[in-house]
Chain A
Amino acid sequence: MAAKTQVPAVEGWFTLDPDRPALLGSRCRSCGIVCFPREASFCRNPACTSREFDEVELSRTGTLWSFTDNRYQPPEPYVSADPFEPYAIAAVELAAEKMVVLGQLVAGTDITTLRAGQPVELVLGTLYSDDEHDYLVWKWRPVADGDPKGAAR
């Protein structure tokens, strides 16, 4: 059987670099504010009227702000595994951007071992699959202090 083609579950929200993926936001060309998901129409800063934005990669690493899990099958359009598998979700603080970004935690994360302030890094994971495709999404993975994957590169 041929390997499935990997495609993003949503277009233009993250890079597909298998080693060092990053979320894609927008930076206002006038005032410099960063938004995620990207803002393409009007700057959200009330003091700015710009309509021009550059794409920007957000920090790949951050610290846990909070975390939880979901133990019951959510409604559509979430595509649940059959049988349903609980999953964990993190809110991650990005220091440079001074913002908190949500994402699922990688499968198998034991949330009872997590603590706020712990470092995490962005990875790509499969959200769901069909016969031909794996649909990818960003996920957060806890890392040991100072050792995120690819940090040396």
Chain B
Amino acid sequence: MSAEHEVAVLGVGMHPWGKWGRNFVEYGIVAAQAALDDAGLGWDDVQFVAGADTIRNGYPGFIAGATFSQALGWKGNRVSSSYAACASGAQALDSARAQILAGLCDVALVVGADTTPKGFFAPVGGDRPDDPDWLRFRLLGATNPTYFALYARRRIEQYGATPEDFARVRAKNSRHGATNPNARYPKEFTVEDVMASPVVADPLHLLEICATSDGGAAVVLASTEFARRHTNDPVRVAAISTVTPTYPQTVLELPAFATDSAAVVGAPPRPFRDAIAHAAYEQAGLGPDDLDLAEVYDLSSALELDWYENIGLCPEGEAERLLDDGDTELGGRVPVNPSGGLACFGEAIPAQALAQVCEVTWQLRGQATGRQVEGARVGLTINQGLFGHGSSVILTR
């Protein structure tokens, strides 16, 4: 992407992930104030607030842009509120970028935060037989880990992956996140520890499935012109991809009962997860070889291996070799999830895509103490959520 289509990341901030049990607004505001401090700006400077919605905290969660603005003090700024499942944060970021690139504002604050219930994610309550998310629990008992486990078993059947491979991903990420101050589980686990944890959905163990967490993350975006007046060499947003699948969606996806049929209309050139990354690379004018690091959505440790292939780090079926060679470990060719990933954080849905952007920003600035990817200049984030949502952000410096 040419420079005139870039925006700058002036500040990032997070509220630590955990199970704090407090109102999500509090996490969002802590993160927002940290991001503004990081940018050297105040609430007065913000012209636009893009909120990433939480659907589990009542009405204030559905109007996150206004909720966070009111908490910071109404001052007549404009707002947007985005819901896109796990991609909500990236879609809010995209909304802020569009405002800036359209010349409608110079400084935007993007915030996502969540407070989560204990245990499996459940569908929204009530008797709703028209809602596929309700029906998949009712008719199949298909929890989120069920889908993750189907993908994991497919890797075993298709490529000869082993349960130990998945455990090694978890062990790697635990080493990465062991000293991350924002991680909920900053603890090293060995492959043996992981394999000894209970199987939740065969072949996945408890330690390989991401938990649901409380947390908040925020990003201050600015026009490159505004940024030049405030800082030298800021991190820049080179791409935000929020593409939908292309019919027929041939990737089994939450909360669907079936894939689309590819019998009449043939499968698209790229499956959905590949297409998310491809759109980001195309927008940035970069490719997999340009990456210094990636933050990928390890809803399960097995899924991280799928992502290696989806983002083009290796051909299909070779992710286990990449892991074996240490390429994706800190110090390797292209470290993946230096933050520790969802394994060390758990998922705070509307904050998670923004947390990925926070981590890459710290990495590109050389501020990721204890987990720094040396000399990192280009980083990619990617995730996938329910109902055809996914996102990828490429940051450069």
Query: Which residues of A are at the interface with B, using a C-beta cutoff of 8 A?
Result: 9-10, 31-37, 44-47, 65-72, 74-80, 87, 89, 91, 96-104, 111, 115-117, 127, 137
> Closest CB-CB distance, A64 to chain B, in whole Å?
8
Say yes or no: B263 contacts A77, CB within 8 Å.
no
Say yes or no: B122 contacts A75, CB within 8 Å.
yes
Contacts A68-B201, A78-B141, A99-B258 known; 18 new A-B pairs at CB < 8 A: A33-B265, A35-B260, A36-B257, A37-B132, A65-B252, A66-B153, A67-B150, A70-B143, A74-B120, A74-B143, A76-B122, A77-B127, A78-B138, A89-B150, A91-B252, A98-B263, A100-B258, A127-B139
Say yes or no: B141 contacts A98, CB within 8 Å.
no
Say yes or no: B261 contacts A35, CB within 8 Å.
yes
A98: contacting residue among B119, B129, B135, B261, CB under 8 A:
B261
Say yes or no: B137 contacts A89, CB within 8 Å.
no
Decide yes or no whether B4 CB sits under 8 A from chain A: no
Q: How many A-B residue pairs have CB under 8 A?
A: 135
Chain A residues with Cβ below 8 Å from B139 are 9-10, 127, 137
Decide yes or no whether B146 CB sits under 8 A from chain A: yes
Chain A residues with Cβ below 8 Å from B136 are 102
Chain B residues with Cβ below 8 Å from A99 are 258-263
B123: contacting residue among A33, A72, A77, A116, CB under 8 A:
A77
> Closest CB-CB distance, B265 to chain A, in whole Å?
6
**0/1 per residue, B123-152, Cβ < 8 Å to A?**
100010100101111111111011001111
The 8 closest A-B pairs by CB, nearest first: A116-B157, A75-B122, A68-B149, A98-B262, A66-B154, A78-B141, A98-B263, A99-B261
Say yes or no: B201 contacts A69, CB within 8 Å.
yes
Chain B residues with Cβ below 8 Å from A72 are 120, 200
Q: How far is it, in angstroms, between the C-alpha of A34 and the C-alpha of B262 when the chains are bound?
A: 9
Say yes or no: A68 contacts B153, CB within 8 Å.
yes
Chain A residues with Cβ below 8 Å from B263 are 33-34, 96-99
> Closest CB-CB distance, A3 to chain B, in whole Å?
23
Instruction: Indicate the member of B135, B200, B201 with the most A CB atoms within 10 Å.
Output: B201
Decide yes or no whether B290 CB sits under 8 A from chain A: no
